[in-house]
Amino acid sequence: MGSIIWSLGAFVVTLGILVTFHEFGHFWVARRCGVKVLTFSVGFGKPIWQRQGRDGTVYQVGVIPLGGYVRMLDERVDSVSENERQVTFNSKTVWQRAAIIAAGPIANFVLAIAVLWLMFVIGVPSVKPIVGTVQENSIAAQAGIQTPAEIIAIDGVETADWQQVNLRFAAALGNDLVEVKTIDDGNRERTYQLQIGAWRLQDNKQPTYAALGLQPFRPEVSLVLSYIAPDSPAAAANLQVGDKIIAFDGTPVVDWPQTRDLIMQAAGQEVRVTLERNGQTVTQQVQLGSREANGQRYGFLGVEPTVAAYPEQYRFTQQYGIVDGLLQGAERTWELMALSVNMLGKLLVGTVSVSNLSGPVAIAEGAGATASYGLVYFLGFLALISVNLGIINLVPLPVLDGGHLAFLAIEGVRGKPVSERVQEVCYRIGGILIFALMAIAISNDILRLSQ
């Protein structure tokens, strides 16, 4: 319950920031163009807070935190007196109206630059993209990638960490080839060509590099126990910190993954665990516990293995000064914008499955998770969602900012606006399409929760 409340709180904060900046973009440019703003609302529905400013604008927070709006004086929907016609939205030129509409998405891009700048100034703890293993029969294995090695560039673009590796592979999705450059411990550079023509991304929980068969370096996990949970089956059987598991129910074990699988397969059973303790062999009878997840029962022992320290030479902090941080923030925002447009196109042609669409539940989970990791990770997540919000709003669908801009473009060419009837039909079609996409995204969220 606590994690749900935390995620919900982080979701409200995230959406509140994004919507406020988006609507402020519309508001700020509208005021600069001489348009009277009647209402500035963050959220929909009945106001839970409301105040009228000296400028005559009503500022409010709606009870439903799933968007917002700026309501401007417009002769097409409002009764306007003669002396107020010059401050109506519809009285402005095509270029002024286009600027007001485009200002919302642009504000999201500016916000992304700002939060990424702050993130880079604070410093982002990172790890180098060291490939530890390559999955058998994977695309990476077929390319012959040798390990251990650091990925230093993908398609000629430098990659400092795993996030950049993930983004570069996502950008290459749909191509026939992707070039990967690595450097090994002996400073030998190698270049590989991965055949990705038939590769399709089906699971958005899995990083792109994992889908290609690349597994990051992980410190060695030994069979020596480093923790015994209180009131667990291990504690009841008198297992101790420092014990080394050497056999499980008569089966010799060689690594932790094998041991973990044997434990999970023996839910609720009494088993013999053979240990090495202070140079002697000890056998303990253990009554394993049982837990249920996704409709299946799994055994648990209540121990943690000893994990070696992560090599310091693989760690680094991405931190820049005020000017360089701003440049890095702008560069990363541009990369995210290009990737978002790229991924939208691949959704349309089927290179990326619609199962990768995420809705409010996934955003809430992401907001809660990154917020729990720390401020810099939350800022990175906020920038990503802000860029996506800006790009999606520029899609030329009626009811979105991009649809309004499309109508204005037609008006600019024709010299007169699109008829109200045509616009109304388009808005209805656009509303249906948006509703369908939201339904798919929410369905994907529900399916992920049930898995």
Residue 314 and residue 195 share a domain? yes
On whether the CB atoms of residues 183 and 145 are closer than 8 A, the answer is: no
pTM (predicted TM-score): 0.81
Residue after which a domain boundary falls, among 318, 347, 373: 318
In which residue are the tokens 């749909």 written?
A: 174
**Alpha-carbon separation of residue 448 from 191, 304, 355, 362, 444 (angstroms):** 37, 27, 10, 9, 6
pLDDT of residue 357: 60
Phi-psi region of 369 (alpha: psi -120 to 50; beta: other; left: phi over 0): alpha
Q: What is the H or E stretch that residue 98 is in? A: helix 94-122
Residue 331 within any structural domain of the chain: yes
Tokens for 138, please give them. Answer: 């994977």
Residue 435 and residue 347 share a domain? yes
Rounded distance, CA 366 to CA 363, Å? 5
Helix-strand-coil split of the chain, %, nearest 5: 45, 25, 25
The CATH number of whichever domain residue 227 belongs to comes to 2.30.42.10
Residue 272 and residue 417 share a domain? no
For residue 148, whether the previous peptide bond is cis, meaning omega lies within 30 degrees of 0, is yes
Q: What is the mean pLDDT of each run of 10 residues along the chain (451 residues)?
A: 70 86 95 93 90 90 86 87 88 94 96 96 92 91 92 92 89 88 90 88 73 90 92 92 91 91 90 91 91 82 91 91 95 91 78 61 62 82 91 88 91 86 83 75 60 51
Residue 48 within any structural domain of the chain: no
Residue 391 and residue 259 share a domain? no
pLDDT of residue 35: 93
Residue 67 within any structural domain of the chain: no
DSSP calls for 24-76: HHHHHHHHHTTPPEEEEEEEEEEEEEEEE-TTSPEEEEEEEEEEEEEEE--TT
Residue 10 within any structural domain of the chain: no
Residue 229 and residue 186 share a domain? no
304 is catalytic: no
**Displacement of CA 371 from its chain's centroid (Å):** 12
Q: Which residues contact 166 (CB under 8 A, 6 or more apart)?
A: 207, 208, 209
pLDDT of residue 118: 96
Cβ atoms within 10 Å of 447's Cβ, excluding its own = 10
Terminal Cα-to-Cα distance of the chain (whole angstroms): 19
Residue 226 and residue 184 share a domain? no
On whether the CB atoms of residues 77 and 391 are closer than 8 A, the answer is: no
Rounded distance, CA 253 to CA 46, Å? 62
Rounded distance, CA 327 to CA 379, Å? 16
Q: Which residues contact 134 (CB under 8 A, 6 or more apart)?
A: 140, 141, 145, 147, 213, 214, 215
Q: How many domains does the chain have?
A: 3
Residue 89 within any structural domain of the chain: no
Residue 257 and residue 111 share a domain? no
Residue 226 and residue 214 share a domain? no
Residue 290 within any structural domain of the chain: yes
pLDDT of residue 364: 60
pLDDT of residue 367: 63
Rounded distance, CA 48 to CA 56, Å? 19
Identity of the amino acid at 202: Q
DSSP calls for 267-308: TT-EEEEEEEETTEEEEEEEE-EEEEETTEEEEE--EEEEEP
Residue after which a domain boundary falls, among 253, 288, 318: 318
Exposure on the CB side of residue 218, measured as CA atoms within 13 A = 12
Closest CA to 117 of 330, 291, 304, 363: 330
Cβ atoms within 10 Å of 12's Cβ, excluding its own = 14
State the catalytic residue, choosing from 23, 136, 276, 411: 23
Query: How do 221-228 and 303-307 pair as beta strands?
Result: antiparallel
Residue 240 and residue 273 share a domain? yes
On whether the CB atoms of residues 36 and 55 are closer than 8 A, the answer is: no
Cβ atoms within 10 Å of 82's Cβ, excluding its own = 6
Residue after which a domain boundary falls, among 289, 318, 347: 318
The set of long-range contacts for 27-32, using a CB threshold of 8 Å and a minimum separation of 24, is 27/57, 27/70, 28/103, 28/107, 29/99, 29/100, 29/103, 30/70, 30/72, 30/89, 30/100, 30/103, 31/55
pLDDT of residue 198: 82
Residue 281 within any structural domain of the chain: yes
DSSP calls for 365-428: HHHHHHHHH-HHHHHHHHHHHHHHHHHHHTSS-TTSHHHHHHHHHHHHHHSSPPPHHHHHHHHH
Beta bridge partners of 276: 244, 281
Residue 165 within any structural domain of the chain: yes
Rounded distance, CA 4 to CA 444, Å? 18
* Domain containing residue 244: 221-301
Residue 198 and residue 169 share a domain? yes
Residue 329 and residue 448 share a domain? yes
Residue 149 and residue 100 share a domain? no
